[in-house]
Amino acid sequence: MKRTFALFLLTVTLLATNSCSISLSGSSIGELKTIKVEYFENNSQIVVNYLSQQFTESLKDRIRSTTSLSIIQGEGQARMSGTITGYTIEPISVQATNSNVAPIAGAERLTITVSVVYTNSIDKKNSFTQSFSEHQDFTGDINNQEQKLVTAIIKQLTDDIFNRAFANW
């Protein structure tokens, strides 16, 4: 029994002191120390004036708060760039009206799509080019809730992009 406990204690100690690139947040940055996050320009048909800035800053904040990477202006060991390629509002359900009036949307969906290019010069197999798309459903006037919807979608998008780049999901 003492031998089993000693072996268990030794294993736990070795695991705890083993130098590993995985943090408690689940991110794996390997030997990366620096990253350049470029401005994500809004190239969608509907241009929301604050979207590019809010998305880019949210992505930087996600990286800063969850990794030890330094975000730099010059060339980094990794680089994240891309564009906002879609911003759409579409009906997802129809609400009946009287027979003289066309049906109206009962609920709608706001979808944002971002194309991302991630280049990792240390571990090239982790590099990727991929589109990410997230949405939020809503009812009523978009103007009264657009900022809240956009913020929620950006959070989902930055989580997806972060996980793809640093958690290998």
Structural domains of the chain sorted by starting position, each given as residue range(s) with its CATH number in brackets:
28-166 (3.30.160.150)
H-assigned helices in 89-145: none
In the block, tokens 């109206």 appear at 104
pLDDT confidence band for 8 (50 / 70 / 90): very low
Give the N- to C-terminal CA distance of the chain in Å, as an integer.
40
> What percent of the chain shows pLDDT beyond 70?
75
Q: Around Cβ 3, how many Cβ atoms within 10 Å?
A: 7
Distances (CA, A) of 21 to 32, 33, 144: 9, 11, 44
pLDDT at residue 29, rounded to an integer: 78
pLDDT digits 0-9 by tens, 26-82: 456 778 999 999 999 999 999 899 999 999 999 999 999 999 999 999 999 999 999
Over residues 81-102, mean pLDDT? 81
Q: 104 phi and psi, to 5 degrees?
A: -120, 160
Query: Which two three-digit tokens encode residue 10?
Result: 């030794």
Judging by DSSP bridges, how do beta strands 41-42 and 78-95 pair with one another?
A: parallel
Which of 26, 82, 48, 76 lies closest to 150 in space, CA to CA?
48
- How many whole angstroms separate alpha carbon 89 and alpha carbon 153? 13
